[in-house]
C-alpha cells in the first residue's frame, strides 16, 4: 500500500487518525502498532514474521547490552546482536547477488534462493541497529516496554522508504508526545505538498523518462534532458515520501528530522551529500565512518574509510555491481574534493560551482538507473556524442515542447525559491487563505490523477 493510493488516502489513513484520536493516551502506542503491522502485512503478509522476529530479538538484546555495557564481553554481545538483523538483511537482499557473482566468476551453477525482498527491510534494519548501538554507547537507555520499541521499529509513516529515524530522536515521543491542532494542520499541509510532488511532478517526469527509453529517434540533447529528468524524478519521488512521512509524524505527535534540503543548489559534491538523503548520510557517518577513525587518522586510512562507507552506501541501495560503481564514483569524487579540489573550487564563481555539481550528479544518476554496465555505457556514450546519434531530433523537439511546463516547474521546485517567497508573506491573511485553497487543489488534482490509474510506484521501494 503506497501513500499515493486511493486505499491509503481515503480508507487507511482516516481510519488510523480516527482511532488514534479517540484512543486514550495509554493505548495510543498499541493502536499505532496494530495499524503499522496491518500496513506492513498488507504489502508483505508472509514477511511480517521477519519484522516481528527482529523486534523481539532487539528488545531482549537491548536489555542484555545495557546490563553488560561495561563488561569485557559487552562488545562481543553487541557484535552478535548487530549480526542477527544484518544477517537477515544480507539473506534477503544480497544472497542471490553473491551467489550469482560466484557463479559468474567460477563457472559454478549454485542455485539461487530467489527470495522476495521484504519491503522496507533496509530502513527498519538500520533503525534497529541504531537502537542497539545507542544503547551500548549509553546514548539511550534500553527500552523496557516492548510495545514502545515495536512501535518505533514498525511506525508506518517512515517504515518502507524512510527517512531513517533514530531511536534517540523519538525516544521521548514514544513515552509522551504533545498534540495540537497547529501540529495537525502543519502535518496535513506537509503531507499534501508531498503528495503533490509525487503524483503531479515525479510521476510525470517518469513519463518523460519512459518516452526517452521508447523513442525511435534518441539524440544527444534528449539523453541529457533524460538524465536531468531522472535525477529530478528520483528527488521529487523520494523527498515526497519524506514529506508525507514527516507530515504524518506531526499529525501523530512525532518529530521526524528533515531528509532533503534542496541538494541541487549545492556548490560541491560534499555539500550535495549533506543535503541529499540526510538520514542515510548521517547514519553512515555516525555508525561506520567515525568508528573506523573518521578524519582523526592519516590520509591513507581516511581514504580507505571513505571508500568503505561509499561501497556500503552503494550496496545499501541495491544488490547490483552498478550500485557499487555508483557508490565508488561518489567516494572518489569526495576524496578528490577533500584532498585537492575543494579550496580551488571555491575560488571560481558560484555559477561554475553549480554547473560542476550538476554535471557530475547527472552522470551519477545515469549509472544509478542502469541495470548493467553495458546499459550505463550506452547511455553515457549517447550523452557525449559517441553513439553516432544527432545532436537533436524531431522526437526530441516534440517531447521537450510537450513537457516544457513540467520541466520549468520541476527546476523551480528543486530550489528554495518558492519556500523563501512563502516565508516572506506567510503572515499575510490573503496568502494564508491562498495556502489553504492551494492545499485543497493539490489534494483534488492528485486524487483525480490517481483515479485515472496512472503509473504510480515509489522508486525507493526497491531499496
Do residues 331 and 309 touch, judged by C-beta distance below 8 A? yes
- Of 41, 40, 22, which is closest to residue 31 (Cα–Cα)? 22
Query: How many angstroms separate the CA atoms of 224 and 146, rounded?
Result: 51
Query: Cα separation of 437 and 441, whole Å?
Result: 6
Using CB atoms within 10 A of its CB, is residue 64 exposed (0-12), middle (13-18) or buried (19+)?
middle
Q: Hey, how many other C-beta atoms are within 10 angstroms of the C-beta on 167?
A: 24
Q: Which of 246, 192, 190, 185 is nearest to 440 (CA)?
A: 192
Q: Report how far residue 410's alpha carbon sits from residue 231's, in angstroms, rounded to the nearest whole number.
A: 11
- Which grid cell sits at 62? 537491548
- Report how far apart, in Å, the C-alpha atoms of 403 and of each of 24, 91, 201 are: 50, 42, 11
| Residue 261 near residue 281, CB atoms below 8 Å | no
- Residue 436, classed as helix, strand or coil, is helix
CA distances from 399 to 27, 411, 456 (A): 54, 17, 21
- The C-alpha atoms of residue 237 and residue 3 are separated, in whole angstroms, by 12
**Active centre residues (catalytic):** 317
Amino acid at each position: 500500500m503506497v501513500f499515493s493510493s486511493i486505499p491509503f488516502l481515503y480508507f487507511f489513513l482516516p481510519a488510523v487518525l480516527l482511532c488514534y484520536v479517540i484512543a486514550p493516551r495509554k493505548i495510543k502506542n498499541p493502536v499505532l502498532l496494530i495499524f503499522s503491522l496491518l500496513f506492513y502485512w498488507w504489502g508483505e503478509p508472509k514477511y511480517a514474521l521477519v519484522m516481528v522476529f527482529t523486534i523481539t530479538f532487539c528488545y531482549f538484546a537491548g536489555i542484555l547490552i545495557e546490563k553488560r555495557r561495561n563488561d569485557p564481553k559487552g562488545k562481543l554481545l553487541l557484535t552478535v546482536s548487530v549480526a542477527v538483523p544484518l544477517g537477515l538483511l544480507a539473506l534477503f537482499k544480497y544472497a542471490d547477488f553473491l551467489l550469482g557473482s560466484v557463479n559468474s566468476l567460477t563457472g559454478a551453477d549454485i542455485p539461487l534462493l530467489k527470495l522476495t525482498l521484504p519491503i522496507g527491510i533496509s530502513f527498519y534494519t538500520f533503525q534497529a541497529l541504531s537502537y542497539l548501538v545507542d544503547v551500548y554507547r549509553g546514548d539511550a537507555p534500553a527500552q523496557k516496554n516492548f510495545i514502545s520499541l515495536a512501535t518505533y521499529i514498525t511506525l508506518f509513516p517512515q517504515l518502507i522508504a524512510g527517512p531513517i529515524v533514530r531511536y534517540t530522536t523519538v525516544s521521548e515521543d514514544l513515552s509522551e508526545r504533545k498534540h495540537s491542532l497547529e501540529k495537525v494542520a502543519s502535518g496535513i499541509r506537509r503531507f499534501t505538498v508531498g503528495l503533490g510532488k509525487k503524483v503531479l511532478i515525479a510521476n510525470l517526469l517518469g513519463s518523460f523518462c519512459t518516452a526517452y527509453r521508447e523513442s525511435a529517434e534518441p539524440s544527444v540533447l534528449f539523453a541529457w534532458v533524460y538524465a536531468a529528468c531522472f535525477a529530478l524524478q528520483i528527488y521529487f519521488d523520494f523527498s515526497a515520501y519524506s514529506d508525507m512521512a514527516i507530515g504524518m509524524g506531526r499529525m501523530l505527535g512525532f518529530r521526524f528530522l528533515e531528509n532533503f534540503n534542496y541538494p541541487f543548489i549545492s556548490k560541491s559534491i560534499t555539500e550535495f551529500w549533506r543535503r541529499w538523503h540526510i538520514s542515510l548520510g548521517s547514519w553512515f557517518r555516525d555508525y561506520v565512518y567515525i568508528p573506523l577513525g573518521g578524519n582523526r587518522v592519516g590520509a591513507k586510512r581516511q581514504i580507505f574509510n571513505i571508500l568503505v562507507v561509499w561501497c556500503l552506501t552503494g550496496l545499501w541501495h541495491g544488490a547490483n555491481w552498478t550500485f557499487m560503481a555508483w557508490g565508488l564514483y561518489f567516494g572518489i569524487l569526495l576524496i578528490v574534493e577533500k584532498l585537492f579540489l575543494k579550496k580551488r573550487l571555491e575560488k571560481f564563481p558560484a555559477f561554475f560551482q553549480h554547473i560542476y555539481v550538476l554535471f557530475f550528479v547527472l552522470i551519477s544518476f545515469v549509472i544509478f538507473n542502469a541495470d548493467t554496465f553495458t546499459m550505463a555505457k550506452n547511455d553515457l556514450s549517447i550523452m557525449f556524442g559517441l553513439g553516432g546519434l544527432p545532436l537533436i531530433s524531431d522526437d526530441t523537439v516534440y517531447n521537450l515542447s510537450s513537457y516544457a511546463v513540467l520541466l520549468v516547474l520541476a527546476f523551480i521546485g528543486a530550489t528554495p525559491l518558492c519556500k523563501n517567497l512563502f516565508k516572506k508573506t506567510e503572515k499575510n491573511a490573503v496568502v494564508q487563505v491562498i495556502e489553504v485553497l492551494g492545499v485543497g487543489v493539490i489534494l483534488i488534482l492528485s486524487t483525480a490523477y490517481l483515479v485515472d490509474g496512472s503509473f504510480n510506484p515509489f522508486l525507493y521501494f526497491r531499496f
